Structure 1
Amino acid sequence: MGIVLRMNTSPANSRVPSKVLLCHNYYKLSGGEDRVFEDEARLLERHGHQVTRYTVTNDAIDSMSRWSAAVRTIWNRKTYSELRRLMRKERPALVHFTNTFPLISPAAYYAARKERVPVVQTLQNYRLICPGSLLMRDGNICEDCVTKRIKWPAVLHGCYRGNRLATACTTTMLATHGALGTWRNMVSRYVVATEFGRQKFIDAGFDAQQIAVKPNFVDPVPPCGNGEGGHFVFVGRLSPEKGIDTLLEAWTQFNGKLIILGDGPLADKVARFASQHERVQWMRHQPAKIVQQVVADAIALLVPSTWYEGLPKTIVEAFSVGTPIIGSDLGAMSEVITPGETGLLFPVGKPDKLLESLHWMSESPEHAHAMRANVRRHFEQFYTAERNYDLLRDIYCQAINDTSFE
């Protein structure tokens, strides 16, 4: 089973936007969403589009009071004014937001509406239907808030950063803009990375016609690796939802080499584990080139996540160098990974089943090697920059054609 790409051919009179405004709220700790924003900007520029960038960073929160940060999450007047001025100056045909939370805020959509500019919004997580953004609570999948207008269970459990007050602020933002019709009326197209993610938003009440599927991509395309490093690799944030506990538990019974690349709240736990197991190496954050080489040399990339992943950039990057994936059989993973062809799946949160997959991959080198050719072909079919540009161009054209400012 492969990823489903929804691509409606644009009408003959579609206007391909020459000028695009890209907006993004950077996180304190750089992650996949930040790279998606930067990758898409470069892709558009390479195809001749004039790209204007508007960005803010969460570092600015450090100098704000809690009240100020809360108010700006719901409606940032500064962002609204700045974006209106920028749109008047640049006159973009379309504005594309990667992340607006928390400092850009939904006020940005209203600024675009006032300036008669269609809006596209990427959804890299589930923030609009889950204040915690992960559809997860206490280590388990949770969909209690998905269909609720006021997402009170999240406040009760403090789902955003374990803080009820912060969660109440996020919930108020979602409820306010749900009541105002912001999500329905101010955004022309939403972009998700997988069909699974698309269906989750439809289940929550979003209009199916507004949601397009466009996966992430890798550019430039690196050479295919050979997997002869003899190690397995994990790349990502060291946090509970990434399945770190499952990973480490499996390695207490496995003698293969593991390289862990990343940082996060479980860094101390990973550091202690690595110091006690000589076959485990924690390399923290590394430059992209080093990460790429470590993944290319790996037997497989491990994605033991316990939440509904979107389409992690690390998976697409592994596909680009021909490295198979061993991932949890959860959410979009079964959409992205074809067992026996592009990787293996195991039941979520089951270290013993992950262990079985590790043994199979280690003890079947001929099958693992054959997988690499399949993985690379899969990448070339779905995740190249050119394929992605075709999808993005179509989404933009549809957003422009379908937006009315009457």
Structure 2
Amino acid sequence: MKVLIINDHILGGGAESVVRMQIAILSPMLDIHFLSGEDIHSKPNFFSYIYSKKSYNVLFDKLVNEKYDVIHLHNYYHLLSPSILRAILDFKRLGGNIKVVYTAHDYHLVCPNSGFYYFHNGKIENFDISAEWSEIRRKNIDKRGFVHNWLKKRQWKNAYIDNDYLNAIDIITTPSFFLKQVLDRHINKTIKVIRNPITLSSTTLLRQRSKKEIMEIVFFGRLSIEKGLKELIEMISHIKEIKFRLTIIGAGPESKSLKKQVINSKLDSVIEFKGIMDREALLKVLPNFDVFILPSIWYENAPMSIIEAANAGLKIVTTNLGGMVEIANAVGGGNHFEKNNWLSLKNCLEIVREQMNDDNSSKGNLSQFSESKYLENILEIYNN
């Protein structure tokens, strides 16, 4: 079976890590090919962002000449543009026989802001999951200003309102039931849940821990506004009764402002920044911590960080939004707090402290995230 996997990038986290894993898992069994947006555009201009003729031509030529059995799409709206969907549609209309699978890593198919949120007075506000285009188009969906706001909406409207590009896709997969629920409200397509794969270590989910006076908490990921670290630091400033340390691992556009906030809040003895780490180094240090916290203020879909932290034996604490609760429960159960509610976070941490030495806690089922399970599920979709 000849499969073409498509994604804007090959390097990076999130979707890119899933793409790399997919290629590694499938390559021993299938004839795998890969098309990256970086192969076509180093950086899109206004016109190619909305509709890239170059991407259309490259993909259409490949479809005609290479005789693929399956196209597996991931992210395409940053570099490649939705013109690749038009190329697939035109190929099918000419009699081309090909199955097209799209893995949704975010909410792009239902909102031009792939995070499904907008900005109000400089702050992130989540759309209701039933929000339609008539509401979305009136909101500011990009904090960078009018031009980026207009471009995102124009690209999305051209692809899915003015044209029928969605018809290029035969089946959609999502890594969480939450994302499936959102897409089901807006799209009449077959949607199946396939968990993102990770390489499972021999580390057991739960480990014996000696009682410690100070609870070690870690966040790792991109330091960006939607991750809720600014709000987390503000909430921590109110919590005096629990002894803990927070280590923040990562880099991003909010790094400087977050460090300044910590100093101004006089929390530098409690919160430490470690900078970015490669994955190998990160996996080595994770077992030194007790708790992983993900304070995101948007509808996270299926964070790989939760699975990796659980695989290292950490307790999980997240906001009660999006797919975070679902994924935390899938790996053994997490504790969840309300956005911007420091008392809710305090209660969460108190519960976690009590659970630290509880051998009867749920162990979860990490095997659903294994490479073998992913292979089984993907092959079933390709073959049926």
Task: Give the TM-score band, short-chain normalised.
Answer: 0.7 to 0.9
User: Within 2, Cα distance between the matches of 1:142 and 1:203?
Assistant: 14
- Say which is worse superposed, 82-91 or 167-176, in terms of deviation: 82-91
CA distance in 2, matches of 1:180, 1:366: 57
Q: Residue 174 of structure 1: which of 137, 149, 156 is its match?
A: 156
TM-score, length of structure 2 as denominator length:
0.85
Q: For residue 56 of structure 1, what is the amino acid of its counterpart?
A: G
Paired with 1:104 and 1:166, the residues of 2 have a C-alpha distance of: 17
- Which amino acid is the alignment partner of residue 120 of structure 1? V
Change (3 A) 1:296 1:175: same
Alignment of structure 1 residues 288-299 onto 2, 5 Å: 288-299=279-290
> Could you tell me how far 1:310 is from its partner in structure 2?
0.4
CA distance in 1, matches of 2:257, 2:381: 43
* Pair 1:280 & 2:271 matched: yes
Partner of 1:404: none
Q: Decide whether the 8 Å contact of 1:233 with 1:258 is kept in 2.
A: yes
- TM-score, normalised via structure 1 length: 0.81
Find the counterpart in structure 2 of residue 14 from structure 1: none
Is 1:71 the counterpart of 2:51 in the alignment?
Answer: no
1:340, 1:117 → 2: CA distance? Answer: 36
Alpha-carbon distance, 1:51 to partner: 0.7
Paired amino acid for 1:266 = E
- Is 2:374 the partner of 1:388? yes
- 1:324 aligns to 2:307 (yes or no): no
Tell me: CA distance 1:97–1:356, structure 2 relative to 1, closer, same or farther (3 Å).
same
Q: What do the CA deviations read for 1:183-242 (whole angstroms, capped 9, x no partner)?
A: 1x11111121111111111222x01x4211112121253533748595111111212221
**Residue 80 of structure 1 aligns with which residue?**
56
Question: Cα distance, 1:145 vs. partner?
Answer: 8.7
Partner of 1:269: 257
* Aligned with 1:165 (options 133, 147, 154): 147
Separation of aligned partners in 1, 2:69 and 2:332: 42
- The equivalent residue for 2:86 is 110
- Aligned residue for 1:248? 233
Q: Which moved more, 1:252-261 or 1:340-349?
A: 340-349
Corresponding residue of 1:212: 192
Given the superposition, is the C-alpha separation of residues 227 and 39 from structure 1 closer, same or farther in structure 2, using an over 3 Å criterion? Answer: farther
Separation in 2 of the partners of 1:340 and 1:124?
19
* Correspondences of 1:1-400 after superposition (within 5 Å): 18-26=1-9, 30-46=12-28, 48-57=29-38, 60=41, 62=43, 69-113=45-89, 114=91, 115-137=96-118, 138-143=123-128, 146-148=131-133, 151-154=136-139, 157=140, 159-178=141-160, 179-183=162-166, 185-204=167-186, 206-207=187-188, 209-224=189-204, 226=207, 230-252=215-237, 253=239, 254-273=242-261, 276=266, 277-338=268-329, 341-367=332-358, 370-371=360-361, 374-375=362-363, 377-380=364-367, 382-398=368-384
Structure 2: 5+ residue stretches without partners: none
Q: Deviations over 1:87-136 (max 9, x none)?
A: 34432211111100122112212323415422111111112222222122
Q: Which amino acid aligns with 1:240?
A: I
> Alignment partner of 1:108: what SS?
helix
**How far apart are the structure 1 equivalents of 2:129 and 2:22?**
33
Secondary structure, aligned partner of 2:27: helix
CA RMSD of aligned residues (A): 2.7
CA offsets, 1:373-405, max 9 Å, x none?
A: x34x4212x21111111221222234xxxxxxx
Q: Give the unaligned 5+ runs of structure 1.
A: 1-17, 399-406
Structure 1 residues 361 and 346: CA distance shift in structure 2, 3 A: same
Flag the 1:133–1:227 CA change in 2: closer, same or farther, 3 A: farther
1:36 Cα deviation after fit: 0.9
Compared CA separation, residues 348 and 395, structure 1 to 2 (3 A): farther
Decide whether aligned partners of structure 1 residues 232 and 58 sit closer, same or farther in structure 2, where only a CA change above 3 A counts: farther
Q: Partner of 1:51: helix, strand, or coil?
A: strand
- Structure 1 runs (4+) deviating above 4 angstroms are 58-62, 227-230, 273-276
